[in-house]
Amino acid sequence: MSRDFDEDLKGALRESARRAPIVPDLSDAAIRQARGIRRRRRVTGAVAAAAVVAIAVPVGLQAGDALSNGRTPLPPATQGPDNGPDDGDGKGDDAGDLRSSLVTVQLSQLPTGDAPDLPYLDGSQLMVAGVPIDLGVDPASISQVTYAGGTAYYTTNDEGELTLRSAPEEMDEVAITSGPWASPDGRYVAYSADGELSVIDTDNDEVSSVQVGGDYLRSVSFARDEVYVVAGNDDTLLRWTIGDSQVAPVPGIVRATAVSPDDELVADMHQVDDLEASSCTQVKALSDGGVVWDTCEHRILRFSPFSGLVLGANEYADGAGDPYVVVLDDDGKLVLKAEGPNDRNTPTFFQGAVFESETTVLTPVAQGDSAALVRCDLTTGECELATRVVEGVDPFDGQLPFQLLS
């Protein structure tokens, strides 16, 4: 490499690029794939319900009696403006949509799938690509974990005193009030202490801080280079550009429950005085507060990596978790609902579901005295075990043996 380094690099890239595959025109394949993406995002009411009969009956599904991992049609999930039957806009006209609308999760009958792609907590071990990182603490003391830049950041809770630690690379312990949270790309880790929000840049270990006015932060979301903070004292949504000297409140937001990674949408929950629901959520444009869609049936937990889908659960979590999780599309229409069988003796709870990818969801599930991580595929409408099933679990007594990271 006797020539200029930049030129060597450019030359190497140009030369390597010539080895790119030469393939037939991809437009047809791309269009087919696009239509497949659209299809699985659409589930609608009347037309769909009629269509599913033709599908469900031949394969033995019985109406009102969902089999293990079986699928039955569901009514529209939300009260958005496009929630009616097929309105002629081309949506919801594909019978195949419905096969993925409802999944009944029964741990003992689920097939075993691949291990999670995402890091997860197994007792006191953080599992990353099958490699355990031993956090070396009592699992019961771990209150929140995240993973960024090759390091696990976690808090231990000693009678309410939270301490931020890290492994395998050990940082100086920090007394914190809430956190930690990591950015989707794993670059930033945030926590709060003494009324300040602090963000560690794992690229260079620099820490940026800003006053946020409250000790406890309900959540921190990263969207591109913006950080959104829900301040716990009054649920105010604050926006902060890392490095700025102050945060800015986002007007018109009552209680933000999720911000989309593309920095465009926010899920805003508000109380209602209604016999049918006590709270509703509006998905709004961050730019102007315009309502994109709303739901009074589910609360919104988080957006998908590409912001096209949301994860939701029932309006209020039960003591040990949510009785179901749903995935809704960018119109608020139901893509998938996963719930346990209707069995009072073996209650099912879902805790802390996350998107593993744009097409798969991971969720810890407790069922009776069993627990496991479960993956649901939005393209097939089927769920599988992503970990072993652990017996002897009491979901009402402490956390489940498997936890997905914040």
Partner 1 sequence: MQLAGHLDASGEHDQGHDLREDTGRCPVTPAEEALFCEFVAARQQALLRTAYLLTSDHHAAEDLVQTALAKAYLSWHKLREPAAADGYVRRIMVNENTSLWRRAWKRNEYATEVLPERPTTMDATGGVEQRDEMWTLVQTLPPKQRAAVVLRYYEDLSEADTADALGCSIGNVKSQTSRAIATLRSRVSPDAATAQGGAR
Task: Return residues touching partner 1 (CB under 8 A).
Answer: 1-23, 25-27, 29-31, 33-35, 37-38, 88-90, 93-94, 114-115, 117-119, 128-130, 185, 203-204, 224-225, 262, 305-306, 356-358
* Beta carbon nearer to partner 1, 162 or 354: 354
- Asked whether 44 and 92 are in contact (CB, 8 A), the reply is yes
Structure tokens at 203: 């690229």
- Least Å distance, CB 63 to partner 1, is 27
Given 3-state DSSP classes, what are the helix, strand and coil percentages for the chain, each rounded to the nearest 5?
15, 40, 45
Say which residues have a Cβ less than 8 Å from residue 27's Cβ, sequence separation at least 6.
none
d(C-alpha 181, C-alpha 97), whole Å: 35
Closer CB to partner 1, residue 205 or residue 394?
205
Residue pair 242/231 in contact by the 8 Å Cβ criterion: no
Least Å distance, CB 80 to partner 1, is 17
- Nearer residue to partner 1 within complex by CB, 182 or 366: 182
Partners of 164 in beta bridges: 155, 174
Minimum distance, C-beta of residue 217 to partner 1, in the bound complex (Å): 23
Q: Closest CB to partner 1 among 163 and 357? A: 357
Nearest Cα to 77, choosing from 107, 48, 50, 106? 48
Give yes or no for a contact between 256 and 267, defined as CB atoms under 8 angstroms apart: yes
Compute the C-alpha angle 186/189/192, nearest 5°.
160
* Least distance CB 25 / partner 1 (angstroms): 6
- Whole-number minimum distance, CB 332 to partner 1, in Å? 17
Distance, CA of 154 to CA of 57 (rounded, Å)? 49
- Least CB distance to partner 1 at residue 286 (A): 15
Distance, in Å, from the CA atom of 139 to the CA atom of 156, rounded to the nearest integer, reads 9
Q: Quote the least distance from Cβ 241 to partner 1, whole Å.
A: 9
Alpha carbon distance 342, 119 (integer Å): 31
